[in-house]
Amino acid sequence: MQSNDARILRGAAMIAAPVGVVATVVSAFVAGEKGLVGGLVALAVVAVFFGLGSYALMRITQDKPQVAMTAGLLVYTVQILLIGVFIVLLEDTTLFSGRAFGLSLLATALAWVGGQVRYSLTSRMFYVDPEPSVVTKEAAGAAGAESRDAA
């Protein structure tokens, strides 16, 4: 994992975590114990789905940066679809408040995506690999061998 990728992942988590905690506390205050459980489940779902999605995207684009946009859209689509499936599966549960879960999930997911956008825009990433300004011994040796072969 490259350092700028880790910085983006860490930044998204640092923004989403407090929002998720506040959403959980508000859910607990409004809906009681079931609201607390709903907020905690939502926080866990966002952390797992978006954390793993970000990690997968970083691994995919590590070797093939040219597929970053396609992979990003694919990962985001899969995340949203899996969260939708998760919501549908837990639609009739009595373990927690569905409304508290949904609103906490929405707030935390939006904070995560916002954190990713913010840290992606403020990180300094090279768009191309810079050429070394100092010629290494291997490069100088190879250039000398090529000039001898040409003569």
> Over the stretch 110-151, which tens digit does the pLDDT of each residue have?
999 898 888 878 876 665 656 666 666 665 565 555 555 555
CA proximity to 23, closest of 43, 51, 46: 43
State the pLDDT at residue 151: 56
Quote the CA–CA distance of 94 and 83 in Å, as a whole number.
Answer: 19
**Do 91 and 29 contact (CB within 8 A), yes or no?**
no
Contact 119, 11 (CB under 8 A): yes
pLDDT, tens only, 19-55: 999 999 999 999 899 999 999 999 999 999 888 888 8
Q: Which residue has the higher pLDDT, 57 or 29?
A: 29
List the helix and strand counts (H, then E) for the chain.
4, 0
Q: Which residues contact 76 (CB under 8 A, 6 or more apart)?
A: 53
